[in-house]
Amino acid sequence: MTSIDFAENLGAQAATLALLAGLAQKNPELPPAYIVLSRVDPDVVRVQLDDAQAVEAWREALFVPPTGVALEPHGSIQQLTFEAVMNNIRIDVWAPFTSAQSETLPEEATV
């Protein structure tokens, strides 16, 4: 059984917030994102992006190889996803994907 590590206070999320702040400072040109940080799992960040180009920019900033990007079904749509781990913090990145965006996929992406 997996235990859930609830944050007791905002301080428990400080490392994750600092990681995000550092990422923004080092990469101010990154496309904006809908970012979720929860007290349920304070060492996980969920990043929702608008499109494949944004996924590619974030992938490069997080040093994830192109082969780390996957195209997965999600209900009635598909989504591009990848995961990165930095300083023991997991960053889950995804964006909805349409076939019209296929020319913007990294050549090595897993489809």
Convert the pLDDT of each residue in 19-53 to its tens digit.
999 999 999 999 999 999 999 999 999 999 999 99
pTM beyond 0.75, yes or no: yes
Six token digits for residue 71 = 């195209």
Long-range pairs, 4-7, Cβ under 8 A, ≥24:
4/40, 4/41, 5/41, 5/42, 5/43, 6/39, 6/40, 6/42, 7/39, 7/40, 7/42
| pLDDT digit string, tens, across residues 93-108 | 999 997 655 555 555 5
81: pLDDT strictly greater than 60: yes
- Per-residue pLDDT, 77: 87
Q: How confident is the model at residue 74 (pLDDT cuts 50, 70, 90)?
A: confident
| Alpha carbon 37 to chain centroid, angstroms | 11
Q: Percentage of residues in the chain with pLDDT exceeding 90?
A: 68
